[in-house]
Amino acid sequence: MNQITVKQKRDEYAEVTETIKKVLQFLDQFENYNEDDLRQLGGYAEKVLAVVKRLPPPRAMDGEPLNGDNYREFFERAADAAHDYSEFLEQLSLRFLGDGETAEGYELRERLIAEPETVFAELLDQYNTDLPRDVFVKIADDYNAKAIATKNQLAGFLTAFPTLGADANEYVKWRGDMLIRHKADLIRTMSRFEDDLSKIIYYTAVKTALLNYDDYTDEGNTSHALLQNLVTDKVNISAYDNTIFECYETDTVVEYPANSGDFILKYVENFPEPEKYIAYEPGKEPYTALGINVFKYDFQDFADCRDKGLSEAATVGEYVYYEETRFVQPETKYVALDEDYPDPVTFIKISDNSVSALLGAKEHIRRDKPNLSVSIWTDKYDLWKVVKTLDEIQEGYKLYLQYKGGVASLPYEITLLATFSK
């Protein structure tokens, strides 16, 4: 197959950036556009979307035909997205995901851009064996060889956030289970992402979490540290970033858990105030803080705060939240979003109990096709199960990943961003 190099990718983005500049200059010269002008603008938009993946297409409100303002907004957003990804490729050309400036690292980087699914499968094949027991032995040997500081850091993380296991033994068992039973699920998930950036985030997350948890004492050269530099600093991929989602004053936004209201504060900095904001927060302390902030920032006209959690069905159980330390709240009420709020929604943000909360919102997803922001680190199998669950509920979503950070060298704040292809 023809290898697509990083240089070719950079040249492709440079070319599309020039196209965007020319189109914006054209839009600056005129106020009225005939059908031929709009048809030509649509053709340019298609060319841009073929290269710049993290971008919604031009859109008009309420079924109105596309006009010059719609296209201007699209191409301005496209200019920002193309610039950000060009910056990412520039950094990627200098150093790659913990492999350094070696011939092997350079070749791997080139192949990951050209054939990411194949490279990802090869990564998982490092532990390929006919005897499952050998996988666990190799993983245990790898862990035992780590520095004491690394083991202590991991132990502290698992104590505070026991998603991957309550201790190192459970963490090792989880890694083996993922590599033996769910290798095909991981490969399928990798194939679902729309853009190179998302695939590189996923590659690095799995590489770090399953295969080579990096030495805490050498954090500056770890896959996680480089991912932090390449993605968080160089590319704007926040959950509130309008290069992926479009949001309007007619939207209904659902969030679980809402915590003290940090998300809605950032949301209204980037988008118009939504028509409705349905905030689910079952934790007593954060729910109280949420209510205070709703009044403090004058959100009461559109905010609806509910002191319960989201799940596949109505139930009562534990809820874990963090307020400087870890709290376990018993006897917490959970509801299905479909039952508790049956009205249409346009955006759902889930950062706890992801798979179960998605299943409880399946009728909304099928009917309303809302934008979705879903954490893939709330359960030890979220790395593949969130995407599989969403695809089983509704086919046709375009999927991207957002990386926000992690503890030392374990990247765990990774979010699936999904927008439906209308």
Question: Can you say whether the dihedral through the CA atoms of 252, 246, 192, 256 is positive or negative?
Answer: negative
Tokens standing for 268? 């209204």
Tokens standing for 39? 């048809």
Tokens standing for 284? 């007593």
Between 155 and 6, the higher pLDDT residue = 155
Tokens standing for 294? 């709703």
Residue 408 backbone class (left: φ over 0; alpha: ψ -120 to 50; beta: rest): left
Residue 342 has pLDDT above 60, yes or no: yes
CB atoms within 10 A of CB 217: 14
What is the set of domains in the chain, with CATH numbers? 6-94 (no CATH), 115-233 (no CATH), 252-420 (3.40.50.150)
Q: What is the mean pLDDT of the chain?
A: 82
Tokens standing for 262? 């940090």
Tokens standing for 354? 């992801």
State pLDDT tens for residues 261-300: 999 998 888 788 999 999 999 999 999 999 999 999 999 9
Phi, psi of 410 (to 5 degrees): -110, 105
Per-residue pLDDT band for 218 (boundaries 50, 70, 90) equals very low
Question: Can you say whether the dihedral through the CA atoms of 265, 266, 269, 272 is positive or negative?
Answer: negative
Pairing assessment for the beta strands 410-420 and 371-375 based on DSSP bridges = antiparallel
Tokens standing for 78? 């496209």
So what's the pLDDT on residue 230?
43
Phi, psi of 161 (to 5 degrees): -130, 80
Give mean pLDDT, residues 319-342. 88
Kind plus residue range of the DSSP H or E element containing 291: helix 284-296
Tell me which residue has tokens 């095909």: 184
Pairing assessment for the beta strands 252-256 and 276-280 based on DSSP bridges = parallel
